[in-house]
Amino acid sequence: MEGDIKMKMKRIAIGLLMAGVAMAMVVLSMGCASTRIKRLSGAEFANQVKHIDQISSFHWTTYVGRSDQRAYLEHRRPSLLYNIVGKRTMTTVYWTEISELPPGMSEQLKKDPLPDQPE
C-alpha cells in the first residue's frame, strides 16, 4: 500500500517536471519565432493595406516599402502571452509581387522611389 502511494507520487512529480520543461520550451521558442514572413496574393495584399488606416491599440499594419518587383507591409500584434512573458509583439512581414496588385495600386507604388535611389 505504501509502495503504491510512493509510486503515484513519483509519477505525479515526473508529470509536473515534464509539464514544466514543456512550458519552458514553449516560452523560449516564442522568443525565437516572433517574426515571420508571409507571401500574399495581390488581392490579399490589397485587402491587408486597408488595415493601415484602422485605428487599434491591439494590432497595427504599416507600409514598409518596395523593391523593383515586390511590395512589403509589416503587421504587428501582441503575443498570446503578452502580459506573462514580457510585452513581446508578433511581427509578420507580408510581401507580394507588384505585378499581381490591382492596376491603380501597382502604379501608385511605382511612384514611390526605391530606397537606394534619390527622389
Q: Where are the domains of the chain?
A: 1-33, 34-119
Beta-strand runs (E) in 42-104: 60-66, 70-78, 89-97
Cell of 23: 512550458
The pLDDT tens digits of the residues spanning 5-35 come to 877 777 777 776 666 666 655 555 555 456 7
Is residue 83 predicted with pLDDT exceeding 70? no
> What pLDDT does 70 receive?
92
Return phi, psi of residue 52, to 5°: -60, -40
**Per-residue pLDDT reduced to its tens digit, 29-53:** 555 456 789 999 999 999 999 888 8
CA atoms within 13 A on the CB side of 61: 15
**Would you call 23 helix, strand, or coil by DSSP?**
helix
Smallest Cα–Cα separation from 71: which of 79, 63, 62?
A: 63
CA 90 – CA 43 distance, rounded (Å): 23
Residue 96 contacts residue 112 (beta carbons within 8 Å):
no
Percent pLDDT > 90 in the chain is 22
Determine which helix (DSSP H) or strand (DSSP E) holds 30, and give its type and residue range. helix 2-32
Cross-strand pairs, 94: 38, 73
pLDDT of residue 73: 93
Mean pLDDT of the chain: 77
pLDDT at 110: 77
